[in-house]
Amino acid sequence: MSHEPHGSSAATSNSAPARAPAPSGAALLQLVASHQDRERFAELAWEGSFADYLEIAAADPAVCRNAWQRLYDLVCSFGSSTYTDSKKEITRHHFFDDPFEDGKDAVFGIDVQLEKLVRVLRAAALGYGPERRILLLHGPVGSAKSTIARLFKKGLEWYSRQPEGRLYTYAWRTEEGLVVSPMHEDPIRLLPEEARAAVVAAITAGAESAGQSAPGAKARYPLRIDGELNPVCRFLQRKLMAEVGGDFLKLQERIVVRRLLLSEKDRVGIGTFQPKDEKNQDSTELTGDINYRSLAQYGSDSDPRAFSFDGEFNVANRGIIEFIEMLKLDVAFLYDLLGASQEHRIKPKKFAQTQIDEVILGHTNEPEFRRLQNNEYMEALRDRTIKIDVPYITRPGQEVKIYRKDFNSKKVAAHIAPHTLEMAALWAVLTRLEEPGNARLSILQKARLYDGKSVPSFTDEHVKELRKAARREGLIGISPRYVQDKISNALVRDPDCSSLNPFMVLNELEAGLDHHSLISDVNERARYRQLIAVVNSEYDDIVKNEVQKAICADDGAMDRMARNYIDNLRAYVLHEKVPNPFTGAAEPPNERLARALELKLFEDSKDSIKLSSLVSASVDPDTAARIDVVKQRLIERYGYDERSASDVLQYVASIFARGDARTEKG
């Protein structure tokens, strides 16, 4: 047996094309360098003297804003728009579209509640009282409470990196090296108490004489310098002041000011606290604890340098702290919350009360909130809480946006048949609505009204009355998470995951009800199943209408029927008869309207293509050709693919087959 030598033409003729050489490490590093912005890095890593900072503050007092003002300005920076719903003008703040991650955490369908939240932020920013309260987002599971908190946190991260959202902190030059302010305080607090009023007056006068009237944050809030240094910085200030003989001009040479970038991952300006097992809870998680490794260096646990100011309240200073399931906190934590909200102070162990500047945001579900209402020992906490309801969406057109976020052509390889996500959204919304008290209105029609669609005999005033009468709507029903899980199940149940249609999703939604962990009431489960049937019926009407339109989309046939309609109408008006095009016999005119024409053409065409024969074992070639034409129209005009178009034709055919069978029996 002979063999071709290695590397011969015979050996290479059947091999794959030669691959391009792998890039070198140096080339890859150059690629990295090309994506860097060194000017931007220098801007964010800015360092300067205390005098430099005072110049910045004089030119732009917005750098001295408090946490509430900064959060409100962040939301406003993305603008808003208005629309009308049931004759009521509603504001949509574009911040809640999630401009940071391409809509990943966008919040839909609850603009009324979000506007209430923004109003609270505005009042707090202006110092009208809410800044001394806890913001409590209240609603059922899966209603976007955590999403709103996440938006605030990543928004603040982004804002601190923008010129209009910049803020600063400081560090001390000591013999032991650079000591950073552990709570990232505003350098403006370093000004001695006796000089603050004069500095404010000078900055304000300078701004007025320069005619400073820039829009936004600069003109929105008067400059104020209040607050005290944290224990570490107060200790160092006293120590260094003694070293320079009380000369503040010399002291400021020991101060380094730097740009502050908020970051949840780095635990700078953004804190998150989640309750744990009561036996393992410790309030020092909020206010910090003694650093026992530093005791040997500093010799005393009352030396602030031996204390770790790394509790969540310390970390969140200048930004926001989120309390997950806040009302599950142990009572010991609630005492810290009271002082933190009302007085803006916390009490670290063995140290005096320490001032904080942060937004306190909690969220909870309804059972926990009811427990708060019924607990007389929680009265002080209730008094310091502003509750913002975050209900489920009650408009199908808004609910479907949630599912389109996660199930679209960018994220899902499978083709999603038309109306699949819409039917899932409709069912979810129906579970959240209360049955209408008006016998003339079905729950499906109520959902249509809420969605801005018309229902005969009902007006915008009726919609207002319906919403006012239904106190529990949006606080009951199925969570979007359940629907998302069932859509995922339907996707992977298909062996090749190539297609998803409403039948698959509705079957998954119904099958999962038996194992839903939050449904314990038999009647509630039965009601949800009944609503599946309502949605199935609605889907039947939609696809029958689409197939009808696809069948009678023959423009020539419609033209012929239109001419026939005109002939019939003329004959009707003149009391004449029209000739039958097939027999020639004179017949009375047929008075049909446009929709009747379409339905008539459908009935004629349905018979000609034997639509009901789709459910039989064999189809003749002529019928198959006609069906292919209809299928192509469904694909081109309504967004179906080959498989889903076949499925919907089969489904509609089965509906008519059942109708034919009933007619024959009759």
Residue 401 three-state SS: helix
**For residue 13, how many C-alpha atoms fall within 13 Å in the half-sphere facing its CB?**
4
Given this model, what pLDDT does residue 147 score? 96
Q: DSSP code of 442?
A: -
Give the pLDDT confidence of 430-446 residue by residue, as tens digits: 999 999 988 899 999 99
Sign of CA dihedral 284, 70, 147, 426: positive
Q: DSSP code of 569?
A: H
Q: 13-42 as b/e, with b when 16 or more CB fall inside 10 Å?
A: eeeeeeeeeeeeeeeeeeeeeeeeeeeeee
Sign of CA dihedral 17, 21, 23, 25: positive
Q: Decide if pLDDT at 16 tops 80.
A: no
Q: Decide if pLDDT at 498 tops 70.
A: yes
Q: Tally DSSP H helices, then E strands, for the chain.
A: 28, 19
Give the pLDDT confidence of 504-537 residue by residue, as tens digits: 999 999 999 998 888 888 999 999 999 999 999 9
Q: How confident is the model at residue 578 (pLDDT cuts 50, 70, 90)?
A: confident
Q: Decide if pLDDT at 561 tops 80.
A: no
Q: Decide if pLDDT at 618 tops 70.
A: no
Given this model, what pLDDT does residue 593 score? 44
Q: Decide if pLDDT at 7 tops 60.
A: no
Phi, psi (deg, nearest 5) at residue 494 = -70, 125
301 contact partners, CB below 8 Å, separation of at least 6: 290, 295, 307, 350
- Alpha-carbon Rg for the chain, nearest whole angstrom, is 35
Q: Decide if pLDDT at 572 tops 80.
A: no
Tell me which CATH code domain 46-291+305-391 carries: 3.40.50.300
Given this model, what pLDDT does residue 517 score? 82
548 contact partners, CB below 8 Å, separation of at least 6: 598, 599, 602
Sign of CA dihedral 62, 128, 384, 389: negative
Question: DSSP labels for 31-56?
Answer: HHHHT--HHHHHHHT-EE-HHHHHHH
Separation of alpha carbons 168 and 639, rounded Å: 53
Asked if 319 and 270 count as a contact pair (C-beta separation under 8 A), the reply is yes
In the chain, list all ranges with CATH 3.40.50.300: 46-291+305-391
Q: Decide if pLDDT at 604 tops 90.
A: no
Asked if 173 and 254 count as a contact pair (C-beta separation under 8 A), the reply is yes
Separation of alpha carbons 338 and 384, rounded Å: 7
Average pLDDT of the chain to the nearest whole number:
86
Q: Decide if pLDDT at 21 tops 50.
A: yes
Asked if 196 and 248 count as a contact pair (C-beta separation under 8 A), the reply is no
Separation of alpha carbons 290 and 303, rounded Å: 10
Asked if 50 and 187 count as a contact pair (C-beta separation under 8 A), the reply is yes
Q: Decide if pLDDT at 335 tops 90.
A: no
Least confident of 91-100, 344-353, 367-376, 625-634: 367-376
- Phi-psi category of residue 30: left, alpha or beta, with phi > 0 → left and psi -120 to 50 → alpha: alpha
Given this model, what pLDDT does residue 661 score? 47
Asked if 446 and 464 count as a contact pair (C-beta separation under 8 A), the reply is no
Least confident of 218-227, 342-351, 486-495, 503-512: 218-227
Q: Decide if pLDDT at 500 tops 50.
A: yes
Helical H segments across 160-306, by residue range? 193-209, 217-220, 231-243, 248-251, 284-287, 295-298
**For residue 302, how many C-alpha atoms fall within 13 Å in the half-sphere facing its CB?**
1
Phi, psi (deg, nearest 5) at residue 557 = -65, -40
Question: DSSP labels for 263-331?
Answer: BTTTTBSEEEE----GGG--THHHH-EE-GGGHHHH--TTSGGGEE--SHHHHTTTSEEEETTGGGS-H
Q: What percent of the chain has pLDDT over 70?
A: 85
Give the pLDDT confidence of 152-162 residue by residue, as tens digits: 999 999 999 99
Q: How confident is the model at residue 1 (pLDDT cuts 50, 70, 90)?
A: very low
Given this model, what pLDDT does residue 608 score? 46
Separation of alpha carbons 511 and 528, rounded Å: 11
Give the pLDDT confidence of 238-274 residue by residue, as tens digits: 999 999 999 999 999 999 999 999 999 999 999 999 8
Give the pLDDT confidence of 340-380 residue by residue, as tens digits: 999 999 999 888 899 999 999 999 988 888 888 777 777 88
Residue 84 three-state SS: strand
Separation of alpha carbons 157 and 159, rounded Å: 6
Q: How confident is the model at residue 499 (pLDDT cuts 50, 70, 90)?
A: confident
- Phi-psi category of residue 584: left, alpha or beta, with phi > 0 → left and psi -120 to 50 → alpha: left
The model carries a pTM of: 0.85
Given this model, what pLDDT does residue 515 score? 87
Give the pLDDT confidence of 285-311 residue by residue, as tens digits: 899 998 888 887 887 878 899 899 999
Least confident of 440-454, 487-501, 602-616: 602-616
Q: Decide if pLDDT at 449 tops 80.
A: yes
- Phi-psi category of residue 619: left, alpha or beta, with phi > 0 → left and psi -120 to 50 → alpha: beta
| Highest-scoring range by mean pLDDT, 13-27, 129-143, 597-611 | 129-143
Q: How confident is the model at residue 574 (pLDDT cuts 50, 70, 90)?
A: confident
Given this model, what pLDDT does residue 613 score? 56
Q: Decide if pLDDT at 4 tops 70.
A: no
| Highest-scoring range by mean pLDDT, 278-282, 559-563, 649-653 | 649-653
| Highest-scoring range by mean pLDDT, 260-269, 564-573, 645-654 | 260-269
Residue 70 three-state SS: helix
Q: How confident is the model at residue 164 (pLDDT cuts 50, 70, 90)?
A: very high
